[in-house]
Amino acid sequence: MFKKILIANRGEIAIRIMRACKELGAKTVAVYSDADKNSMHAQLADEAIHIGDSSPKQSYLNADVLIQAALASQADAIHPGYGFLSENASFAGTVDSAHLTFIGPSADSIRAMGDKAESKIRMKKAGVPTVPGFEGLESESDFKKAAEEIGYPVLVKAAAGGGGKGMRVVNQPEELHEAIESARGEASNAFGDDRLLVEKYIPNAHHIEFQVFGDQHGHLVHLFERECSTQRRYQKIIEETPSPLLTPELRKQMGEAAVNAARAVNYYNAGTIEFIFDPSLSTPALSGDEGFYFLEMNTRLQVEHPITELTTGLDLVQWQIRVAAGERFPYSQEQLTQRGHAIECRVYAEDPANGFFPSTGKLLQYIEPRGPGIRVDSGFRAGDEVSHFYDPLLAKLIVFGESRETAIQKMQAALREFVAHGVTTNIDFMQDVLSHEDFTSGKVSTKWVENKFNWKPSTPTFESLIAASLADLTIVNRPSSIVNEHDPFSPWKNPNGFRN
């Protein structure tokens, strides 16, 4: 087992990993920027090293500085968290070259799944269902032919990167030219790669992902699914497990496909296979279609991993560390089971009534809910500053119940107890989502929030009034880009940026 681990991340991510390290008896090294000099994660670690100014490019995204910090602190390994450099194959390779252990998959696996076009070709060869579409397109006439063969609507999207960037829905031929140009430009700016592919667009799709986990001895399993369809602009808001849609037969079929997908790239450690599920194919066997399609693989731990932990009883971060140290994962697929139902809500300092614009400022009062079946992963306390330099996630609120109905009720109660004064939050917005009949009946698709949930705040909240009064007193310099540490493809290019 490792004696000392450097955590190349910040906030609640770093604190979550620290807890796992300490339970395993490993010392922890935190890194922090100027903006995080008084942060919880820097204070809770055994050691803390300053790595640069507040700009992520000069600190948390600076691979050379991170490696230097690990070597200077005599760490054995680096845990990248889930964001920033966690899906950067070059960084994983650099860690190995420095004779340190990267707590995650191999650089080759990250590289293979980081390219949507290449990964889709690999999945086809492995027999994993993929969305009908075409890769390797160059001219506009190629795209036109492909779209006509697939049938409108189609989705034009970037071959590299992720997080919803470089994606455009095309409903008719007249929209294709503009979609190609705008998607190509966004992909080039975000990823330095303007290659595109085109796929069939499924209007009422559900987003269902499977947690996979493997060791370095060839053992690979899945830890069941997470329903992630409650999204805004391709970014998850609320996640739950089990999915209210899946039958035992379909769960088994999708789980096997997820394991096959991971095995196709010799995957080990924690990862997530994301699927698009078409509910219109309610009897896929009769239609000749599986009803689900491989979307992409996240070669890292996900933000929503706690709901899997609560229903399986496994500490995924601990097992990430143990597997990286060479241990065998001891559970067979048959031994793994789920119990109850878990839901996660992402509590953000943002204003849903103002285009979900990030809200910054000091947390004048901050009280997290407590009680049986309630878990809060956060990196803030009362008096802390919500900076404009990073993603405005305040906390992940997770609840466990014996049934889905019980879990929803517990989440609503926990949100009512959550106090975050000094900034505007999305708490009221999430309460209204949880109360909506479409959510309670499990009918929320990935476009539901944008197309059907026309949310408006009922009355001004206390925190919105506080934030407004503070705004009258303070002129805030807002940056042109905001970085989301939960998204390895940050920085954002706009305040309504994409979070994965």
Question: Comparing 463 with 39, which gets the higher pLDDT?
Answer: 39
- Range 367-376 average pLDDT: 97
pLDDT at 472 over 70: no
For position 291, what pLDDT does the model report? 87
For position 17, what pLDDT does the model report? 98
Catalytic, out of 184, 195, 300, 499: 300
Closest by CA to 301, choosing from 283, 280, 279, 324, is 324
For position 460, what pLDDT does the model report? 56
Question: Comparing 260 with 457, which gets the higher pLDDT?
Answer: 260
pLDDT level of residue 282 (50, 70, 90 thresholds): low
For position 38, what pLDDT does the model report? 94
Closest by CA to 394, choosing from 361, 432, 416, 436, is 361
pLDDT at 164 over 80: no
CATH fold for the domain made of 132-200: Dna Ligase; domain 1 (3.30.1490)
Q: Which residues contact 243 (CB under 8 A, 6 or more apart)?
A: 206, 208, 225, 226, 227, 251, 442
CATH fold for the domain made of 4-103: Rossmann fold (3.40.50)
User: What's the pLDDT tens digit per position in 196-243?
Assistant: 999 999 888 999 999 999 999 999 999 999 999 999 887 899 999 999
The C-alpha atoms of residue 169 and residue 202 are separated, in whole angstroms, by 10
pLDDT at 378 over 80: yes
- Range 391-395 average pLDDT: 93
Tell me if residue 300 is catalytic: yes
- Range 244-262 average pLDDT: 96
CATH architecture classification, 206-473: 2-Layer Sandwich (3.30)
User: What's the pLDDT tens digit per position in 38-69?
Assistant: 999 999 999 999 999 999 999 999 999 999 99
pLDDT at 251 over 90: yes
pLDDT at 115 over 80: yes
Question: Comparing 349 with 192, which gets the higher pLDDT?
Answer: 349
**Residue-range domain boundaries for the chain:** 4-103, 132-200, 206-473
H or E element at residue 287: helix 284-287
